[in-house]
Every structure is written in C-alpha cells, then in structure tokens.
Structure 1
Amino acid sequence: MNYLNFPLEQWTNLFVDGWLLPTLGSTFDSFSNLMQGVVDGVTGILLFIPPELFAILIAIVAWKVAGRGLALFALLGFFYIGAVNIWPEAMQTLSVVIVSTLFSLIIGVPVGILGALNSKAEAVIKPILDFMQTLPSFVYLIPAVLLFGLGGVPAVIATFIFAAPPAVRMTILGIHQVPKDVMEASRAFGSTAKQLLFKVQLPMAVPTIMAGINQTIMLALSMAVIASMIGAPGLGATVLSAISRVNVGLGLVGGLGIVVLAIVLDRLTQGLGQAKA
C-alpha cells in the first residue's frame, strides 16, 4: 500500500520544528524550570530527613494505616535501602513519583468529575485516555525530551501521561456508582448541584478514587527504569547502569529498592482507601 504515501512523519516534524518549538519554546522552558524546582524541592526535603528517622516515621504511619506487618516490612525495607547505599537514589525516585502523582491527581480528578457529570465530556475524555494508555511508553519519551530536555522534568511529564488515566477513570466510576436513591434523597432535601457533588458524590466515591490513586502510584513507579533512559535520576538509573554493565548484583540492589517502595506505597494507599470505605 505504498501508493497511499501518507506523510505523517514529515507533517509531525514540520509542526514541531516549524511552529511548536519556535512559538512555545520559551513557555516550555519556563514550565520546565518551575517543575525542576518542584522536583528538586521535594528531593531536598526527603534527603534532609535523616534516613533512620524517615524509616521510623514511615513505619509508624504504616502501623496506623495498614497494621504491624506493613510497619515491620517498611522498617526493614528502608533499612535495607540505607544498608546497600542507595538511599539518595531511592529518595530521587520517590520524589519523581510524588510529583508526578500529585500532578496526575490535580489534573485527573477534576477531569474525572467533569466526565462523570457530563456525558458529552466523558465521550471525549475516554478515547483520549485509551490513547494515553495504549501508546507505548517509549513514545512519550521523544516529545518529553524534545520539549523539556533531559532529567527529572521530562520523567515527570512522561510518567504523568502514563499514570494519569486510572485517576480519571476511577473518579468517573466512583461518582457513577453513587446509589441513585441517595442522590434522589439529597435532591429531595434541597441540595444544590454543588452540595450534591461535594457532600454526597465525592465523599461516597473516595474509596474508588483511592483505588485510582493506588494504580497511579504503581504505574508511576513502573516508569522508573524507562524514565532513566532520558536522564531521570534514581533507582531506575541504577538498574539501567546495571543493564549496560551486565552487573547482576547492582541490578538486584536497585530492583529490590524499587520493590520496597512499590509494596510500601501500594499497601499504604490500599489501607487509606479501606479506612475511607
């Protein structure tokens, strides 16, 4: 079918090089500087806390939220991270996950609310989410590097694109699952649309939204190694270095660090969701 000759590659490059970068390049630079400041700030806060104190604080939170088992695992897991000398890398990874997750929620939850309350908006949002979730994650890296350079900022952007859809979908699902009789009773008592949303629908949808947050965090962590290919710091860079050097031990050290972060964050968000149920 070569006779069709659809020049998508040329058109895309012409749009990016001929209009997007010359017109909005300074805007992307300003946004990149802002995001870099946020990532560096979160990383600085995490590294400022002594590792032993950080591990104890996380263990206490885990005990309160999910029980003794997770508290013990968190304590041993974070002491492992310190013992194998990957604490700075773990905190860098955690900062990227925190920033990208917050970014996903700040945008994803309102978009999910819009989709839940407006069927036409939902019809537009869902195909976009399908595109974000099915496009190979490596494809995100090209425009991220082109627009934001190398480092933590393009990693946050690429991670946001990959991890935001669950937050949107689960927000839509949670609001749709609010029982109709509860909605009708609220309207019968004179609730306005705003009161209905903030005092009935969102509170009842919190467990489902928390499940979406859980999935967003897990997807953000799964991007750690991939994002290291565009200069993202952290445990992903450790694993990538191990791959390039065929160093099995270093790969295991970095991989287990990611596992510790993933299990602790997963159980914490699950515990918070169950507490809200």
Structure 2
Amino acid sequence: MISLEAGIGSLWQSLKEAFVMELPIGEGFTAVVDFMQDHFELFFVAVANTISFVADNLTEFFNYLPPQLVFGVLAVLALWRVGWQFALFVLVGLYVVLGMDLWPESMDTLGLVIAATLAALGVGLPIGVAMAKSELLAATVRPVLDFMQTLPAFVYLIPAVIFFGTGRVPGTIATVIFAMPPAVRLMNLGIRQVPTENVEAGRAFGCNQLQLLFKVELPLALPSIMAGINQTIMLALSMVVIASMIGAGGLGDPVLAGIQQLRLGVGFEGGLGVVILAIILDRLTQSFAQPNRQREGVITRLKQFFGRAETTRSA
C-alpha cells in the first residue's frame, strides 16, 4: 500500500513538472507595487492628503455638533421623509448609542462613511454615465466591477496599507474601492432604462447631449441612482468596521476589541451601534429613492400625529 501511494505521488509529481507551469502571480504583484511606490509617490501623497482633509474635517465636524442638535436634525428628517414611527425609532436609537457611551465612535464612523461615500460617488457616477453611453467601455468595466465585488473585503486592506500605511486614510480608501461598484452599476442601469420616447422628445426640443443628460436622463433615472447611493452607503458602513483593523477607528474599535479580547459585552454594544446607524442611514436614503411617493410637510405630519393622539384620548 505504501509503495502504491509512493508511486502515485511520484507519477503526479512527474505530470506536474511536465504539464503544470508555475505562475509567479505574487511576485508580479510585488513588482507592480514596488514600481508604483517608486514612480507614483507624489500621486499617493496627493490622494492621502485629500482623503485626510475630507475625512478629518467631517469627523471633527460631527464630533463638534452637540448630541441634542444631531437628535433634532435626524428626527425631523425622519419625520419628513418616513413618518413619526421612524422618527421615534431614531430618537430611541440615538439615545441608546449615547447611553452606551459610544457617541464619539458613532460620529467618527458617520464621518468616515460620508467621506468614503462622497469619494465613491464622485468617481463611480461619472463612470456609470460613461458606461451607459459606450458599449465598449461597459464591456471593459463590467468584469472589473465583478472582480471588485467578489474579492474578499479583507483583501482591500492589503494595498491600502502598502501604499498609505495605517490609520484613517487607508481605511477610507479601502472603503471607497469596496463600496463603489453599486453606484457604477445602478447609474449605468438607470440611464439605460430611460424610455426611448423621452430621449427622442428631448432631442426633438433641441437638447444637446449635456442637456439631455441633466434634464431628461438623470431625473428619470433618479430612483435607480438613489438605490445605488443607498447600497454604497451600506457597503461603506460595513467596510469601515472592517477597516478598524488598520486603525480607521469608529465603531469598529469596540467590535474588534470584543473579538480580540473576548469582551462579549463591548463587542455587542459596538455591533448594536453599527446596526442602529445602518438602519437610520438605510431608511433615510431609501426614502429618497421613491420620488413618486407623496411627501407631506413636517408641520402637516405633526398636526396629524397630535390630532391622532387627541382623537385617541377623547375616545
């Protein structure tokens, strides 16, 4: 039996040497990284400074705001866009975050998510428009988007650390790359689904390509675009937590501490803070993806709510 296994192993080794060619993919990747570090240092410095400026200022701004103001703004926005039930949930959820003493971490996460989302949309939406206008570009970019969406999230941390070190900047950049594909795909899809008769009507009224894009295609594609923005924000929020492994900070820190130090309570509180923030951002951005839904003013909603309460008491 031993001799048979040894013979099979020897045969496999011979076949491998004869037909299987080793591919030094890892060595090639290392060579590309070394080349980019040697020749594009100024570019990486400029990107790092820009991301650092936006992310640092946003996180400082949100931490500077008093919690009462954040409570009020988000509650009014929730009341206007969704309803009084969701506004009540926002108030309770933010109170829970404040009570768990995770307010600074939550504001850091909110700042990082918004910074990463703005960067992802600033790069992704124009690419989506270009894909909708060019079949060749769409066929070229689509496999890249497939690769970006199937690559494990932790892998994005490797080039970010290599080029930018550790801290908030590489975490934000990794989040931008991870969260960009939905914005590109849904922008492309939304413009392609604009009815042909609307486009022809715009051309008949003398619209040039730029006017046609901004006055006809983008308004009609708004639900799809907003759905892409919603997905980008959700992916950015999930990746910001993972990016805490390289020092991005925010709500990922208590979650990471709970995993590394087996502090179950701390990890659960951090995860609960992420869930609350995710629900608030998700519902608010979803509401903007439904332009045909009738929206009532905040005053009208308040009157309806208090009128309903008066009716209940009188009954």
Q: Which of the five TM-score ranges fits, normalised by the shorter chain?
A: over 0.9
Q: What's 2:29 paired with?
A: 12
Q: How many residues align?
A: 276
Report the Cα offset of residue 276 of structure 1.
Answer: 6.1
Cα distance in 1 between the residues matched to 2:129 and 2:292: 19
Question: Which shifted more, 183-192 or 107-116?
Answer: 183-192
Report the Cα offset of residue 52 of structure 1.
Answer: 1.7
Q: Trace 1:28-43 onto structure 2 (pairs within 5 A).
A: 28-43=44-59
Matched-pair contact (CA < 8 Å) for 1:52–1:79: no
Cα distance in 2 between the residues matched to 1:122 and 1:276: 30
**Structure 1: gaps (5+ residues):** none
CA gap of 1:178–1:6, structure 2 versus 1, over 3 A, is same
Cα distance in 2 between the residues matched to 1:78 and 1:44: 19
Q: What's 1:81 paired with?
A: 97
Report the Cα offset of residue 161 of structure 1.
Answer: 1.1
Matched-pair contact (CA < 8 Å) for 2:76–2:87: yes
Report the Cα offset of residue 57 of structure 1.
Answer: 1.1
Deviations 1:136-191 (A, max 9, x none): 11111110001011111111111111110000000011101111111122222222
Asked whether 1:217 is paired with 2:217, we answer no
Q: What's 1:229 paired with?
A: 245
- Off by >3 Å, runs of 4+ in structure 1: none
Q: What's 1:138 paired with?
A: 154
Asked whether 1:120 is paired with 2:127, we answer no
Asked whether 1:169 is paired with 2:185, we answer yes
Matched-pair contact (CA < 8 Å) for 1:97–1:220: yes
Report the Cα offset of residue 275 of structure 1.
Answer: 3.0
Q: What's 1:67 paired with?
A: 83
Instruction: Give 3-state SS (helix, strand or coil) of 2:120's partner.
Output: helix
One-letter code of the match for 2:291? A
Report the Cα offset of residue 87 of structure 1.
Answer: 0.5
Of residues 126, 129, 132, the one that matches 2:145 is: 129
Q: Percent identity at matched positions?
A: 49
Of residues 204, 213, 217, the one that matches 1:197 is: 213
One-letter code of the match for 2:226? M
Deviations 1:10-56 (A, max 9, x none): 12112222x21122223312321231121110011101110122111
Asked whether 1:154 is paired with 2:178, we answer no
Question: Which shifted more, 147-156 or 178-187?
Answer: 178-187
Deviations 1:205-236 (A, max 9, x none): 01110000000011111113211111111001
Q: What's 1:238 paired with?
A: 254
Q: What's 1:99 paired with?
A: 115
Alignment RMSD (CA, Å): 1.3
One-letter code of the match for 2:22? N
Cα distance in 1 between the residues matched to 2:31 and 2:178: 26
One-letter code of the match for 1:7? P
Instruction: Give 3-state SS (helix, strand or coil) of 1:275's partner.
Output: coil
Of residues 21, 27, 32, the one that matches 2:37 is: 21
Cα distance in 2 between the residues matched to 1:155 and 1:39: 10
Q: What's 2:127 paired with?
A: 111
Tell me which structure has the larger Cα radius of gyration. Answer: 2
Instruction: Give 3-state SS (helix, strand or coil) of 2:221's partner.
Output: helix
Cα distance in 2 between the residues matched to 1:15 and 1:198: 40
